[in-house]
Amino acid sequence: MFNRDAFIKSYNHFDGRPLIGQTLRDFYIDDFCKTSVKEIVTTVEISEQFRKMLLIGHRGCGKSTILNKVAEELRNQYYVVSFSASDELNMMDVETVDILLAAYLQLLKSLDKNWLIKFLEKDSTIRDFIDILKKPLKLEPSVKDIELFNTIAFKFKVENESRAEMRSGLYGQVKELLESIDKVCQEIEKQKQKTILIIIDDLDKLQTDFSEKIFFENQFLLTLPKVKVIYTFPLDTYYCDDYIRISDRYDDQFIPLVNLKNKQGQEIAFNVASLWKLIDRRIDDNLVKPEAWNYLIDNSGGLLRDLVKFMQDACKLAIVEEKDVIDLAIAQQVISKYVNDYYRVFDTAKYKTAIEEIANTKEKDGNENLIYFLRHLFALEYRQDKQLWYDIHPCLKKALDRDSV
């Protein structure tokens, strides 16, 4: 019997946003995240006082959910300030000082309002720096300091002129910005009796030219605040030649994809079963045929974001067609949409030989093509037992097979 309400419920369970709060408690699967979470937590705990970490991995591999799990595990021990760069910054116009300003504002906004007012009243260093931030915005005198932080953040993100003026001032006041960050951190740690940990997500979504400028050209700035910080880091920038120059300044943690097969093409049953479990947490297993589960899992390539999106689309299609169950036919319709997307955007004439070489050898064919392939999820990177290999996304493979017919 067609159960519209059950499919609607499951459709929303397969929302592609990172798990946090109640959804983290309801849907988190630690089968393929446990090791990464433990390694990140351990690195934070044992690293020197102001060490910084880069979190690296494919877009959609679960980095944000893992960071939310890390924050949850460390919250009793650390004063955790976690935010998304894409929420606070214009991701099409980002410079290093922008990230430091966003971290500073988030530290201030994380504090209790009454305590913050008292802190601002007694600390002239912080008030003086806030005046520096106010100046280019030409705000009315009646606007109180406590109300400024959201105003500053909003104008910095959405108003190009305000951002340019504030950024120009900040580059002349980097020392003052760093001193203000350190002063706030010292006060928080004194009051809370906890070490601060800042987690900045979504920097991995930066375009390569921005990320190279931020992490390579201005490599020192992000390491200077006297606080522990985790930055997400773009996978394609990880393959740039200059990465080796900064690698000793950071700890790094790579989040691998879920390996459905080993390099020789043999199925890894435990990992496949783990993805079954991920699906089963969010939908009644009576609503999905086993062959549909397998088909969607196999075509995800172990990329969690894709699998979740496949299942959401399958739920919607079941509603549209008033089906009792998600069967293989529905699963095939879902995947055909993504195959069409790959067929449309992949430049077969230019890259077919290079991508097929990766598919056949499971090795990279050179960094220039690989960086492009990884950024657009044409190629996927896998790691297991100290082995590193590559393959093409299953949906792209189907698109290439169609092109060969």
Q: Which residues of 280-314 are buried (b: 16+ CB within 10 A; e: fewer)?
A: eebbeeebbbeebbebbbbbbbbbbbbbbbbbbbb
Candidates 205, 168, 197; CA nearest to 60 is 205
Q: What is the pLDDT of residue 405?
A: 46
310-348 pLDDT per residue, tens: 999 999 999 999 999 999 999 999 999 999 999 999 999
Beta-bridge partner residues of 195:
78
274-290 pLDDT per residue, tens: 999 999 999 999 999 99
CB 206 within 8 A of CB 375: no
Residue position matching structure tokens 């309002």: 113
Question: How many whole angstroms separate alpha carbon 107 and alpha carbon 196?
Answer: 10
Mean pLDDT per 10-residue interval, the chain, length 405 residues: 92 95 94 93 92 94 96 96 95 93 91 78 75 72 66 88 87 88 90 94 92 88 94 91 89 94 92 95 95 97 96 98 97 97 94 93 83 92 88 96 67
Q: What is the pLDDT of residue 170?
A: 85
Question: How many whole angstroms separate alpha carbon 335 and alpha carbon 314?
Answer: 9
CB 70 within 8 A of CB 37: yes
Question: How many whole angstroms separate alpha carbon 228 and alpha carbon 222?
Answer: 11
Domains of the chain and CATH, by start? 4-15+259-404 (no CATH), 33-254 (3.40.50)
Q: What pTM was computed for the model?
A: 0.92
